[in-house]
């Protein structure tokens, strides 16, 4: 996981080199901690071989 976009491809292609291949970005948040982490813009790095009950997806209907 790269800390910023320095060195990223400028042509819109996928960034396939560098970074930590054992981690992925988890987006969105959870009410299990605090309101800051519940924001849609919340991002955190997480190891790929670890699961957590706070990760998943949400469905909304009306």
From the list 60, 55, 61, the residue with the least C-alpha distance to 32 is 55
- The answer to whether the predicted template modeling score (pTM) of the entire model surpasses 0.85 is no
| Contacts of 32-37 spanning 24+ positions with Cβ under 8 A | none
What is the predicted pLDDT for the residue at 41? Answer: 82
What is the predicted pLDDT for the residue at 3? Answer: 62
What residue ranges in 1-62 does DSSP mark as E strands?
23-27, 43-47
Q: Mean pLDDT for each consecutive 10-residue tract of the chain (62 residues)?
A: 73 77 77 75 81 72 80
Q: What is the spatial distance between Cα 34 and Cα 36, in angstroms, rounded to a whole number?
A: 6
């Amino acid at each position: 996981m790269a800390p910023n976009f320095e060195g990223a491809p400028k042509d819109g292609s996928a960034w396939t080199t560098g970074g930590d291949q054992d981690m992925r970005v988890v987006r969105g948040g959870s009410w299990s901690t605090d309101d800051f982490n519940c924001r849609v813009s919340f991002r955190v790095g997480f190891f790929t071989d670890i699961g957590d009950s706070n990760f998943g997806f949400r469905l909304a209907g009306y």
